[in-house]
Amino acid sequence: MAVNGAGTFHRTRLDEDEDAAAMSQNVLAESWRQWPNEAAFDNLDEHRGPVPLKVTGDIPPWAAGSLYRTGPGQSRVDKTAKGTHYVSHWFDGFAHTHRFDINAPSKPGEQTTVTYSSRRQSDDYVSRVRKKGWRSGISFGQKADPCVGIFSKMMSVFEPKLTTYNVTVMADVPGMPPAKPAPAGHRAPVANLYTGTDVAALQRIDPATLEPLGPASQAVFHPDLKGPMSSAHAQRDPDNGDFFNYNLEFGRTPTYRVFRVSAATGKTDVLATVSDPGLPAAYLHSFFLTQNFLVLCIPSSHLQWKGLGILWHRNVLDAMEPFDASKRCRWIVVDRRHGKGVVARFSTLAAFFFHSINAFERPAKDEKGEERVDLILDYAEYESLDVMKGFYYDVILNRNEEAKRFWTAKDRFKTTTPSFVRHKFTMPSPNAAPTTDYSATASREQTIRSPHAGDLPTIHPDRRGKAYRYVYSTANRGLNTLVDALVKTDVEAADAALWAGPAGHMPGEPIFVPRPGGMDEDDGVVLSVVVDSVGERAYLLCLDARTMEEMGRAEAEFAIAMGFHGTHVPMST
């Protein structure tokens, strides 16, 4: 029986074909019409709080801390000189940052409490739109009368005050100044807090009030980091906290600079400068980090005119070249321990991804018995670029039948659902000369299809860069135009456990919080913000990470925006 209802469903690899077929049937039967989404995207207020939430069930006290989340908030501006300004694409929604404070009880027998606060990050721009009319700028996918979205600080000629940062939240970023001391009370210890997106800049946020404190360019880290684009998903060394990212500079030959910021000293080193002839400028949302290497995958999301097509089209989505199956993904392996720079290059079939899941190294030997290293690289793969057009608000909200047109045209629902994909690349001998082209290829070791695997993936934080078994993500069973379930994927067994609420309950990114001292990889809880569009409210959901059964929830009397990413900062012990 396919997983179409509410509840927790445990499925095996033998059910994958049935559940994938059911997803397709649900889309074609237009089951998503019975799943309202409006409350997650429209008429959203800020609550500077802290607002107490009603806790039911059990949220364990060891999960105490602050859950920070960010993403798009309001998607329109009323009463402008030209009427109502509608944002076209979800990625361009005006930034809205949230904090859930989970407080352990102070006395035995008392219940864990949760308070909520939020703050809009784009008030200055919204005010200018109302007073002076719509202004042109760089967006991700604005269709007409372009507003300034997440890519507004692409070049210095654009006004930096119009930037919004609405994709990721990063705490304790090395090389950046500390925050002012937090007020007394139950607050997680945070040295600083920044939000980011796919431009080479960060937005400093007050960890206590969530007030935006101004942008900071990557040039603060190092003067060579002068390109306009970067990854929204900077990565941290799980052992020492070092901060890694790349910077992309446009030009005759696009240049990728891979860098590290030391958590101990705040010093920044450029680990590699990659400017290969023929290497395209591309939209690259995340990358991979193993114990010894940083790996860039340049997907088939190539930008026209070496990236400068963005200036012509005024948005990133229209500046992407049409998907071409001959444009293979190019992978670049950078040594991050010994200063060797680029040590290998290889390629895989054309595809697209937003999110890497994890990567790690495995000892290997070649046919002669010589020592080698296998790189294991996992991500949420899409067959083409179509998925990005599925994030127009018109599609998500089925305005004027856009959802039906989008999902059914050319069986697009098949190319816009993610699969868990594992690639393996065998590294040459450490003493061998680095490859200079992409003729070497990786093998595709594993594929797990939707809804047994999804996107917005997270894992146990201590397993980053190491062998692991479980990944938690959002899934779509074809019952919603965006997501309708959470899924725990067992990578070793290829089994899945799904949690789903009633129709209209749309879950956001799952965040894994480990039990202190827990020995098993799935010993912890999963936190997700769920929007109930039927009741026009939201709740913080707490699931047992082993079983995906609900343990408790903290309920708000209002809706909370469907956002992108977050981070849980535990209370110090």
How far is residue 258's CA from residue 266's CA, in Å, rounded to a whole number?
Answer: 16
Q: Give the 3-state secondary structure of residue 485.
A: strand
Give the model's pLDDT for residue 165.
63
Q: Nearest-CA neighbor of 561 among 36, 94, 66, 32?
A: 94
What mean pLDDT do residues 391-406 have?
Answer: 94
Q: Nearest-CA neighbor of 197 among 309, 91, 318, 46?
A: 91
How far is residue 438's CA from residue 446's CA, in Å, rounded to a whole number?
Answer: 22
Task: Indicate the pLDDT class of residue 37, thresholds 50, 70 and 90.
Answer: very high
Give the model's pLDDT for residue 393.
95
Partner residues linked to 570 by β-bridges: 65
Task: Indicate the pLDDT class of residue 342, thresholds 50, 70 and 90.
Answer: very high
Are residues 542 and 29 in contact, defined by beta-carbon separation less than 8 angstroms?
no
- 470 contact partners, CB below 8 Å, separation of at least 6: 459, 460, 488, 489, 490, 491, 521, 522, 545
- 114 contact partners, CB below 8 Å, separation of at least 6: 52, 53, 55, 59, 100, 101, 102, 103, 540, 554
Give the model's pLDDT for residue 573.
43
How far is residue 539's CA from residue 527's CA, in Å, rounded to a whole number?
Answer: 10
pLDDT tens for each residue of 417-432: 999 999 999 988 666 7
Are residues 533 and 40 in contact, defined by beta-carbon separation less than 8 angstroms?
yes
Give the model's pLDDT for residue 184.
56
Task: Indicate the pLDDT class of residue 265, thresholds 50, 70 and 90.
Answer: very high
What mean pLDDT do residues 349-359 have?
Answer: 97
Give the model's pLDDT for residue 149.
47
The per-residue pLDDT of the chain, averaged, comes to: 90
pLDDT tens for each residue of 79-120: 777 777 788 899 988 899 999 999 999 888 889 999 999 999
**DSSP labels for 196-255?**
E-SBSEEEEE-TTT--EEEEEEGGGT-TT---SEE-S--EE-TTT--EEEEEEE-SSS-E
pLDDT tens for each residue of 147-186: 444 444 333 333 333 345 689 999 999 998 887 665 555 4
| Cα four-point dihedral sign 193, 196, 200, 203 | negative
pLDDT tens for each residue of 457-482: 999 999 999 999 999 999 999 999 99
Comparing 258-272, 368-382, 548-562, the range with the smallest average pLDDT is 368-382
Whether 136 has a pLDDT exceeding 80, the answer reads no
Torsion angle, CA of 290/267/172/163, rounded to 10 degrees?
A: -100
Give the model's pLDDT for residue 79.
77
Report the chain's C-alpha Rg in angstroms. 23
Q: Nearest-CA neighbor of 245 among 202, 193, 189, 280?
A: 202
Give the model's pLDDT for residue 155.
36
Partner residues linked to 556 by β-bridges: 538
pLDDT tens for each residue of 309-323: 888 887 899 999 999
pLDDT tens for each residue of 493-541: 999 999 999 999 999 999 999 999 999 999 999 999 999 999 999 999 9
Whether 202 has a pLDDT exceeding 60, the answer reads yes
Whether 146 has a pLDDT exceeding 60, the answer reads no
Whether 371 has a pLDDT exceeding 70, the answer reads yes
Residue 429 CB-half CA count within 13 A: 9
Choose between 224 and 123: higher pLDDT. Answer: 224
Strand pairing of 329-335 and 550-556?
unpaired
Give the model's pLDDT for residue 187.
58
Whether 23 has a pLDDT exceeding 70, the answer reads yes
Give the model's pLDDT for residue 138.
74
Q: Nearest-CA neighbor of 12 among 549, 493, 484, 446?
A: 493
